[in-house]
Structure 1
Amino acid sequence: MDQGCRMSGGGGDSQGGGSRVAITLEDLESFTEDQLSDGDENLEEGGAMEEDEQDRLLNYWQDIGRIHQVTVPQDMAAPIQQLTTNTESARDRQEIPFNLITRKEKCGEVLYEKRRYEKANWACVTVQEETYEQTTCLGFMKLMRYICQQNSSGHYLGMTVPIVTVVRTNESRSALSREVTVAYYLPSPHQAQPPQPMDPDITMQEWPPTVVYSRSFSGVTNEHSIMNELTMLVEVLGLSEDRVCEPFIVAGYTSPAAANRHNEIWFLERL
């Protein structure tokens, strides 16, 4: 993978849902005309309920967006609902496969894991805003549209986790660079022939096999928390300045709109 997007996969928190019941031909034949008319009315009510749910989810994301000074536009209502409906639980989200090489623990705490990720196709978008949170939110919204039918297949592609952001620091390593790449791992059925994005800002990239050092952390992901986590991982690994390889990766397993997030910091091994 190139240095601009070398190894980079949040996902979405679940809301809503419900089970589907199959209706057979015999069931339909047993309905009376009155029952069918009632069904039409229920369908209309169901459509109204679906619109209400869209509005509710959109309003929730807009409230979260305002906290981070991000505008969530009206056209995000359908992608937000589709992503939420289709990722009702963690089981509905494919985790990016990797091979665990080693795990370092101390007093029951996992200090870091060393993993190998194989060659794979990713959808990437590079964004530059005033803050890290604004950048990642805008990048993730672009990827949501791609995942939710705005692609050459015209179908919902499926959610994978983690969603990753590729970050760099300034020369003194005291702050994050403004330019960030947000990336989405294509689900297994689409790896061989990735659907092409309709958004010209999104590029499809094949990343080579990569070894990463990963450390988990929870809570918000902003410039302050990421810089702290970068420092902690450097210390845990016992790295000197000349052994710190950029870019770094922030891996998010939960949606940017989630209150409690599961995140990881990844360092790339210098091969």
Structure 2
Amino acid sequence: MQREGCRMGGGAPEPAGAGMITLDDLDNMTDELGSDSAYNSNGSVEDEVEPMEDADQDRLLNYWQTVARGHQVEVPDDMAEPIQQMTRNNRTEERQNVPFLVLTRKEKCGEVLYEKRQYGKAKWACIKISEERYEQSICLGFMKLMRYICEQNSSGLYLGMTIPILTVVHTDEERTELQRSVTVAYYIPSHLQDEPPLPTDQDIIIEEWPPTVVFTRSFGGATNEESIIREIHLLAELLDSPELCLQDMFIVAGYTNPAAANRHNEIWFLQQP
């Protein structure tokens, strides 16, 4: 994995009094609107399912807009269709996990302190964002990736959700604060790895990342500047040889919406090549 540009990234923002909508909120909204999907896993319309009504689409958009304002982010009206697509297709069992191999695991009293994993070479859709606040960057980056996932690509099809969404973050030398520029990244589903559909948004870059060894530790709760710095220091204290990892670049992996009751996040350290 190289050190510059769009490299492994994804977490989710922590609001001040509200949660960003990514995965679990979509589950809740899908339940409210009806569990049937208008789209199958290949992105084609199933004839027997009625399309989402305009009122439901508007309600979804308004919901996203209301929550996003808590992050000082505006959700444009043209996000209505991607939000509808993601909601219709957001079945937990259809989310593809990024494949990896566990190399070692350090435990204490039955608790997993961290894992050492091997991730293979793979293609990712990446976007670099530099907003004033971390939460704003994640929100805007994820919305752009949603458009790519939801038919705004050269195939014209819904690509499918993969997890985790990654966010590449950089720190200062003392690891006391995050730099403004972050990279949000989406793993291209396995069946599309050979020929990923091209984004219509020129800000999104398809990159092939080399095989990478990471040290990863799970944590719950908020994913904001403060919690990320805290988790970086915690994992550094647990590692036997933290100097073997990159010292100013880290990854936040987000598996669930930060508004969920049981949040699943990870902090990743990248082993130096």
TM interval, shorter chain, is 0.7 to 0.9
Alignment of 1:180-259 (within 5 A): 180-239=182-241, 244-255=246-257, 258=260
* Pair member with larger Rg: 1
TM-score normalized with structure 1 length: 0.84
Matching of residue 50 in structure 1 with residue 67 in structure 2: no
Which of 179, 192, 205 lines up with 1:177 in the alignment? Answer: 179
Which structure 1 residue ranges, 5 or more long, are not aligned?
A: 22-42
Amino acid at match of 2:8: M
How many residues matched?
Answer: 246
Amino acid at match of 1:123: A
Counterpart for residue 162 of structure 1: 164
Matching of residue 61 in structure 1 with residue 64 in structure 2: yes
Shift of 1:261: 2.9
Counterpart for residue 28 of structure 1: none
Question: Is contact 2:36–2:88 with CA below 8 Å preserved after alignment?
Answer: no
Matching of residue 12 in structure 1 with residue 12 in structure 2: no
- In 1, the alpha carbon distance for the partners of 2:7 and 2:172 equals 18
TM-score normalized with structure 2 length: 0.83
Question: Is contact 1:8–1:163 with CA below 8 Å preserved after alignment?
Answer: yes
Shift of 1:255: 3.6
Counterpart for residue 3 of structure 2: 3
Shift of 1:260: 5.0
Question: Is contact 2:10–2:254 with CA below 8 Å preserved after alignment?
Answer: yes
- SS for the counterpart of 2:247 is coil
Alignment of 1:20-169 (within 5 A): 50-89=53-92, 91-169=93-171
Shift of 1:60: 2.1
- SS for the counterpart of 2:248 is coil
- In 1, the alpha carbon distance for the partners of 2:239 and 2:117 equals 14
Question: Is contact 1:9–1:96 with CA below 8 Å preserved after alignment?
Answer: no
Amino acid at match of 1:198: T
Q: Deviations over 1:173-209 (max 9, x none)?
A: 2100000000000001110001000001000100000
Amino acid at match of 2:142: F
* Aligned-pair Cα RMSD in Å: 2.2
Question: Is contact 2:214–2:268 with CA below 8 Å preserved after alignment?
Answer: yes
Amino acid at match of 1:178: R
- In 1, the alpha carbon distance for the partners of 2:216 and 2:180 equals 23
- In 2, the alpha carbon distance for the partners of 1:143 and 1:154 equals 14
Amino acid at match of 2:9: S
Change in Cα spacing, 1:256 to 1:60, as seen in structure 2 (3 Å) is: farther
Shift of 1:101: 0.6
Amino acid at match of 1:7: M
Shift of 1:254: 1.9
Which structure 2 residue ranges, 5 or more long, are not aligned?
A: 12-21, 39-48
